Amino acid sequence: MARNKYDIDEELVSVFRLKDLIRLLGYLKPYKLTMAVTVMLMLVASVANLLGPVLVQDAIDNRIPDGDVTGLVVLAGIFAATLVINAVCFKFRVRLMSTIGNNIVKKLREDIFYKLQELPFSYYDSRPHGKILVRVINYVNSLSDLLSNGFINFITDMFTLVCIVAFMLFINVKLTLISLLGLPPLIITIMFIKNIQRRNTQALSMKQSNLNAYIHESICGVKVTQSFAREKQNEGIFHELSTAYRKAWMKFIKSNFILWPIIDTISTGGVVLLYFAGIMWIQDISVGVLIAFVSYIWRFWLPITNMGNFYNAMINAMAYLERIFETIDEKPAIANKPGAAQMPQVKGRVEFKNVGFAYDVEEGNKILDNISFEFGPGSTVALVGPTGAGKSTVINLLSRFYDVQEGEVLIDGINLKDVTLNSIRRQMGVMLQDTFLFSGTVMSNIKYARPEATDEEAIQAAKTVCAHDFIINLKDGYDTEINERGTRLSIGERQLISFARALLADPRILILDEATSSIDTRTELALQNGLQRLLKGRTSFIIAHRLSTIKNADCIMYIDKGSIVERGTHEELLAAKGHYYKLYNSQFSVMKAV
């Protein structure tokens, strides 16, 4: 399912999958009683509604010729009662089914969202986020009407159709048979156009997904777009995607609405035949019978039209359900194995045993090759080396964002694959280079990993990492609302808040990936004491290009081309005059020149 571009269509599956429909019906199980009540209400309303033509026939053929005024009043009262019953039943039907439909839509959306919380980084790396969003929002919304009204209406229409045929047979058998002549051509037509409708619906969903993916990408990259004056080119791309969506929409509309005029034409032809038969058999048919039959024949085609609309909705729903359930059924590449235990209280011993790893196993390009190391509790380990050497991959494997293909990763002698993900990650603090803040207050972001912490503890954490001073100068201090990703704060300010968040979480193992890369030198110097408190008593892994931040590390590992080339303390590596020595001298010679 890996699709990683906005201009690549998702795979088209043209087969109608009954299992998806059955699975959707499973979401209705908790509401069986409510649906049964609703069906009964609609059946009562249907019967009440169908009494009208019979009452009219009785009035025309019997009451009026006999001058039976009392009988006409009774018929009028019964007719009025049927209207009231129909209105009351319809009111409760709308209320009950709207509640059920929206509850199911909510459950479907929650199921997708919960699954997305479990899926590993590789899932998000392999597809545009816009194509994920369209499933959670648009595709689920498209099922709302089907769930709120479709199934109940279908049951009701089926019952109504049977009742109408029964009433028609009761009134006149020959006219009934003539009325049913339009059904065979209608069924043939439906069977012919159903695959066309499904293909067009799926094509529309693909173009909608592509368009949504590009919109999301463009919004996220709008600063880059404006920086390089790419607006016109992007407008051209959007125009092409929008045009493709429009063409798919027009095909969808044409196939979706072709059924209604066909039903209308066949129903009109049926009425014409009925009138013709009535004229031919006028001596055998009363005026009341003919009027009642004409009324029933129009009502006969109404539920058929409704069922045709339901059929269209079902065809459309299958295209969306296919994508929804595909997401819900996605197997997490990183998951708890059966019988996985809870990770006990971590002491902090970390070991990599002959670890080999590739992000794309099929291509076979190893990012790490036969990596081995071991560090005791409380150690501070720095990872340095050129870009793309595998430093971030080491911490991704330690956090179990990915699983190793070769070797083992152990904490306190326990293989990470043998324990649950939550029990590992709750005892880790990870601060990535791409700092992410959530919409909300500064305080809520600091407390994100430990919501139960007090405000005083959060403020103390901010003071420790030198974030307090700039926070209290914000408009509302710690209660200042920041938008998604914290874009109204500088990158350095976001990193300081992330430091405070990591410190407040009090993890046993701490991972800092370029955590000070966007902090100015003055703040970094002030932060050193705070960093020492942050690192004290916990095992820490630090990736840093600023070598000044890792001088005091217990061990520095120089990684290049997926292997550990050198390891040792700062002084030991300088004395060895190898890769680290060259990197250190080149960095500080640049600083002196500046």
Classify residue 470: in a domain, yes or no: no
Q: What share of the chain is helix, strand, coil (3-state, %, to 5)?
A: 65, 10, 25
Q: Are residues 192 and 251 both part of a single domain? A: yes
Q: Does residue 481 come out as left (phi exceeding 0), alpha (psi in the -120 to 50 range) or beta? A: beta
Q: Are residues 388 and 241 both part of a single domain? A: no
Q: Are residues 128 and 68 both part of a single domain? A: yes
Which pLDDT score is estimated for 565?
Answer: 92
Classify residue 520: in a domain, yes or no: no
User: Is residue 89 within a helix (H) or strand (E), and if so which, with residue range?
Assistant: helix 69-118
What is the domain range of residue 107? 18-328
Which pLDDT score is estimated for 187?
Answer: 76
For residues 300 and 268, give the distance between their C-alpha atoms in angstroms, rounded to a whole number. Answer: 12
Local structure of residue 519 (DSSP, 8 states): S
Classify residue 5: in a domain, yes or no: no
Q: Are residues 268 and 134 both part of a single domain? A: yes
User: 568: which strand partners?
Assistant: 556
Q: Are residues 208 and 284 both part of a single domain? A: yes
Instruction: Name residue 363's amino acid.
Output: E
Sheet with strand 406-411: strands edge to edge: 368-375, 350-357, 406-411, 414-415
Q: What radius of gyration do the chain's Cα atoms show?
A: 35
Which pLDDT score is estimated for 284?
Answer: 66
Q: Are residues 128 and 171 both part of a single domain? A: yes
Q: How many structural domains are present in the chain? A: 2
Alpha helical stretches, state H, 146-230: 151-171, 173-179, 183-220, 222-227
Q: Are residues 405 and 551 both part of a single domain? A: yes
Classify residue 497: in a domain, yes or no: no
For residues 512 and 497, give the distance between their C-alpha atoms in angstroms, rounded to a whole number. Answer: 14
402: domain CATH number is 3.40.50.300
The domain boundary residue, chosen from 299, 328, 357 = 328
Instruction: Name residue 288's amino acid.
Output: G
Nearest to 58 by CA among 288, 285, 278, 286: 288
For residues 406 and 372, give the distance between their C-alpha atoms in angstroms, rounded to a whole number. Answer: 11
Beta strand 509-513 with 555-560 is unpaired
215: domain CATH number is 1.20.1560.10
Q: Are residues 156 and 112 both part of a single domain? A: yes
For residues 496 and 155, give the distance between their C-alpha atoms in angstroms, rounded to a whole number. Answer: 60
Which pLDDT score is estimated for 95?
Answer: 82
**pLDDT string in tens for the chain (594-residue length):** 344 566 666 665 545 567 787 888 888 888 888 888 888 888 888 788 778 777 877 788 788 887 888 888 888 898 898 889 888 888 887 788 788 888 888 898 899 898 888 887 778 877 777 888 888 888 888 787 777 767 777 877 888 888 888 877 887 788 788 777 777 887 777 777 777 777 787 788 788 888 888 888 888 778 778 877 888 888 898 899 999 989 988 988 887 777 777 777 877 777 777 777 766 765 667 777 777 777 777 777 778 777 777 777 777 777 778 888 888 888 877 888 888 899 999 999 999 999 999 887 666 678 898 899 999 999 999 999 888 888 889 988 998 888 888 999 999 999 999 999 889 888 888 877 777 888 889 999 999 888 899 999 999 989 888 889 889 998 889 999 887 666 678 877 888 888 888 888 888 898 888 766 656 666 666 566 667 767 778 899 988 777 767 888 899 999 998 899 999 999 999 999 998 888 888 766 544 444
Q: Are residues 200 and 166 both part of a single domain? A: yes
Q: Are residues 272 and 394 both part of a single domain? A: no
Classify residue 443: in a domain, yes or no: no
In angstroms, the Cα distances linking 109 to 27, 275, 330, 462 are 12, 52, 15, 37
Q: Are residues 119 and 184 both part of a single domain? A: yes
Which pLDDT score is estimated for 593?
Answer: 45
Which pLDDT score is estimated for 381?
Answer: 93
Classify residue 456: in a domain, yes or no: no
Classify residue 127: in a domain, yes or no: yes
Nearest to 282 by CA among 167, 63, 274, 180: 274
Classify residue 12: in a domain, yes or no: no
Supply the pTM of this predicted model.
Answer: 0.70
Q: Are residues 292 and 383 both part of a single domain? A: no
For residues 299 and 308, give the distance between their C-alpha atoms in angstroms, rounded to a whole number. Answer: 14
